[in-house]
């Protein structure tokens, strides 16, 4: 998936040590198990509930919307906001950059 323990820690709002304990097989709280498995698209038993491609697509779309919203907010302040069609295209292009382009390594960075 390209996720580091640090990425998982930040996305789950858990400490690095807690995440490390989980992956080394040590006992962790049920809430820790739930947070980590949800981020990985798994249920408690480790069964896939969201396939990796869908999980990556969802993450890329969320990040693209966030990045484009920052640009749109700044542009709107300067009275140069984008039209809805241009915004949708920019979101899709940015999403593709997170999935296959130069920003791919930043997909899971929080």
Domain count of the fold of the chain: 2
Higher pLDDT, 82 or 53: 53
33 and 63 housed in the same domain: no
The answer to whether position 93 is within a domain reads yes
Backbone angles phi, psi at 42, to 5 degrees: -120, 160
- Which pTM does this prediction carry? 0.71
The answer to whether position 12 is within a domain reads yes
73 and 101 housed in the same domain: yes
End-to-end CA distance of the chain: 15
For residue 47, what pLDDT is reported?
86
90 and 57 housed in the same domain: yes
31 and 66 housed in the same domain: no
Q: Which domain holds residue 11?
A: 5-39
Higher pLDDT, 90 or 73: 90
Q: What is the number of alpha carbons within 13 Å of residue 35 lying toward its C-beta?
A: 17
The answer to whether position 88 is within a domain reads yes
The answer to whether position 66 is within a domain reads yes
């Amino acid at each position: 998936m390209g996720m580091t323990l640090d990425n998982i820690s930040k996305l789950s709002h858990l400490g690095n040590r807690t995440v490390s304990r989980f992956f080394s097989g040590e006992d962790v709280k049920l809430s820790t198990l739930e947070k980590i498995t949800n981020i990985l698209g798994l249920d408690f038993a480790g069964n896939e509930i969201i396939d990796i491609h869908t999980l990556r697509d969802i993450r890329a779309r969320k990040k693209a919307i966030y990045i484009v919203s920052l640009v749109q907010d700044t542009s709107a302040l300067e009275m140069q906001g984008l039209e809805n069609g241009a915004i949708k295209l920019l979101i899709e292009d940015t999403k593709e950059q997170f999935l296959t382009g130069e920003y791919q390594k930043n997909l899971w960075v929080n």
